[in-house]
Every structure is written in C-alpha cells, then in structure tokens.
Structure 1
Amino acid sequence: MASEWPQVWFTLERAGAGKFRFNIISMASENILARSVTYDSKSAAMAAIDEIQPNADVDDLTSSRSIGYKAPAKKATSKMTARKATSKRSAAKKSSGKKSSPE
C-alpha cells in the first residue's frame, strides 16, 4: 500500500551568492519539515521540487511579487529628516547670498 504525502507546500528562497533552496512546509502546522540542499539555479531547484511532488504549490520568495514576502518600508529617521532640511537651508542661503557683478 502506497503512503500518501501529507498536505505540504514549498517555499523557494535565495541561499546567497546566486544559489537557491526550498523548504517543505506542513499545511497543518506551518512548520518546516525539510530544507533542501542548495542549487546553482532557480530552475534546478524547481525541477527538484517537481521530482518530489509534481504540480506542487510553490511560494516563490525570490521575487518581489511573492505573496509570502513583503519588503519592509523604510522609515525616515529624525536625523535623516533634519539633515535634509539643513542641506536645503544651506543651499538656499548660498543661492540668495550671491552678489550680482557690476556692469
């Protein structure tokens, strides 16, 4: 009797230096059940997933359009805002302090 796979999904992620790997995640507990070795290309990692489970659900975390990954928005700190305001004021002073040359 063949055993069936538990309900799982896969995440594809970057492993640094142009390499890729995937995780097998349980749908029931959302725990990582297994992590793959690293692959030299994204297509090689996807092929390995397809060998394990054809037509698997894969959440591609390597692209910004992924549903599982959202890049955090950068907040302007008060120091950054103050620096920008200061540089704008000094630029305005320089341009208004120019003397016109007599003709």
Structure 2
Amino acid sequence: FFSVLTILGNYVVFGAINGVTYFFFQKFASLVTFYGVMATAAVYLALWIDVYFVPREASFISPFENDIAYFENKYAIRRSQKEASFLERTDRILEKRLR
C-alpha cells in the first residue's frame, strides 16, 4: 500500500517538475522527461535492491536508532563497571578500617 502511495507521489512530483520545466524550457522538456524517468527508475531499482537483497535485523527500529541504543548500552555497562569497582574499593577501605 505504501509502495503504491510512493509511486503515485513520485509521479505527482515528477509530473509537477516536468510541467514547470516544460512551461519554462519547452526545448529541453523531452530531455527533462527522459532524465526524470531514468532517475525514477534508478531510485526504484535502488530501493528494490535495498529492500530485497540487503540483509538486516527484522525490526521496526532504524539502523540509526540501533546505533544509538548500542552506544547507550555500552556507556551504561562501562558506567556500571566503574560504579562496581568504586564500591569494591570503598568496601576494602571500610574493611581495613573496621579491623
């Protein structure tokens, strides 16, 4: 459904671009149309390859958000390790004082 909307949207956009360019540059309209169609085809081909042939995790999260989560987790783990080592150190100091 969304792909149909995308296709229709691209037709509208390229139609508007072609209309404007045809109005202003009637000599070059055929070239603009040709390159517009070629660009559309290239975009569709790239999207098709991306959707069907690029392996990725099955999730609704974008790769960018995955990266953010990765770094947040890394930072949280590092911070908890630092806190743990700090607590261990204070425990040792307190044990020495209590002896």
User: How does the TM-score come out when normalised to structure 1?
Assistant: 0.26
Larger Rg: 2
User: How does the TM-score come out when normalised to structure 2?
Assistant: 0.27
- The structure whose residues are more often helix, as a share, is 2
Higher relative contact order structure (alpha carbons within 8 Å, sequence separation ≥ 6): 1
